A = this chain, B = another copy of it.
Amino acid sequence: MTAPRHLLSIDDLDRAGIERILDRAASFAEVAGREIKKVPALRGRTVVNLFYEASTRTSSSFELAAKRLSADVVSVRAATSSVTKGESLKDTVQTLTAYDPAAIVIRSPHAGAAQLVARWTDAAVVNAGDGKHEHPTQALLDVYTLRRRLGALDGKNIWIVGDVLHSRVARSDILAFARMGAQVTVSGPPTLLPRGIEALGCEVAPTLERLAEADVVYVLRMQNERMDEAYVPSLREYAARYQVNAARLQPHQLLMHPGPVNRGVELSADAIDSPQALIAQQVEAGVVVRMAVLYELLAGSGAGAPLVAEAAAEAVALA
């Protein structure tokens, strides 16, 4: 697989492609440890953040990633834009494309939105979450976080627990974990497990009985509104059967969650605050992994792609 132009799905990346991004992220983590956390890689180039959903962590993380690559960043949010005038996604993308951005980062409540954007623009497109479909940079930062802790994912047993049905994170993580050699199992109430999910490369466990087999427990966010929608009878009952807590978690297991956590629902407070939890590390990985994705798409492909050592040299030059 050659270097992809876009990152729409984890399927755009083979194992080598994922590893190249993770290696690049590791070199940026080294930059992030310095006082001057910038490299001039994307100086004079423009990154557009187009967010049709409220978001703190993903939008600020992409914004900071682009700024630390020295790009000019334009953030367009649905709430304050002419999107409210009924301007279509296509019109908006064509407008923004006219500014000749290097990349468009798109978050949308609609599955497939990023794919559409890629059809309408010359810019590199990064999917920052499209409906229930995918959230590939989240999966990459999850793999990055696990790889740093475990060395490699090969043969590891990873359980993904909770509302898989509505989770773009779950979909991207299943693909990414499997591609990196892990065994993936999903578990949750039958109403929240999509039929045929096995096709993505995972097993299904209806209960947490065999949870002790897992090396890593990845807990999904349980959205309160699911209760109103009758996917679960009550959050209390959900918590009784599927909450990951100190009683259910084994000492050798690592715990992950994409955030923000509903304390006392899908995770107990003791689990969140345990040393097994990698939640803070996941967030921390967000900026460097997104720097790496932008860098690989915009500066890493083609002949003159600077190596890791050169990126470090650039950082020194900037300082």
Contacts and interface: CB of A to CB of B under 8 A. Distances in A.
A194 B261 CA distance: 39
B260 A98 contact: no
Interface stretch (A10-18, A82-90, A149-157, A241-249): A82-90
Most buried by B among A35, A45, A98: A98
A284 interface: yes
A294 to B, nearest CB: 15
Nearest to A84: B54
Given A44-B37, A87-B260, A79 B82 contact: no
Contact of A83 (B37, B56, B84, B224): B56
Interface in A50-81: 54-57, 59-61, 63-64, 67-68, 72, 74, 76-77, 79-81
A81 B99 contact: no
A259 B77 contact: no
B64 A46 contact: yes
Interface in A82-104: 82-88, 91-92, 94-96, 98-100
Contacts of A37: 44-46, 72, 100
A162 interface: no
A319 interface: yes
A287 interface: yes
Contacts of A74: 60, 63-64, 67
Contact of A36 (B36, B43, B94): B43
B79 A60 contact: no
Protomer copies = 3
B96 A60 contact: yes
A32 B102 CA distance: 12
A300 to B, nearest CB: 15
Interface string A15-32: 000000000000000001
Nearest to A53: B82
A305 interface: no
A67 to B, nearest CB: 4
A168 interface: no
Nearest to A44: B36
A26 B165 CA distance: 52
Given A63-B74, A64-B74, A68-B72, A56 B95 contact: yes
B56 A82 contact: yes
A116 interface: no
Given A37-B45, A80-B77, A81-B55, A61 B99 contact: yes
B98 A284 contact: yes
25 contacts: A32-B100, A35-B45, A36-B43, A36-B45, A44-B319, A46-B67, A54-B81, A54-B84, A55-B81, A56-B82, A56-B87, A56-B92, A56-B95, A59-B81, A60-B96, A64-B72, A64-B74, A67-B72, A67-B74, A79-B79, A85-B260, A87-B260, A94-B283, A98-B286, A100-B284
Please give me the 3 A-B residue pairs with the lowest Cβ-Cβ distance, nearest first: A36-B44, A98-B283, A98-B284
Given A46-B64, A98-B283, 9 more contacts: A37-B72, A44-B68, A44-B319, A63-B74, A64-B72, A64-B99, A88-B263, A94-B280, A98-B284
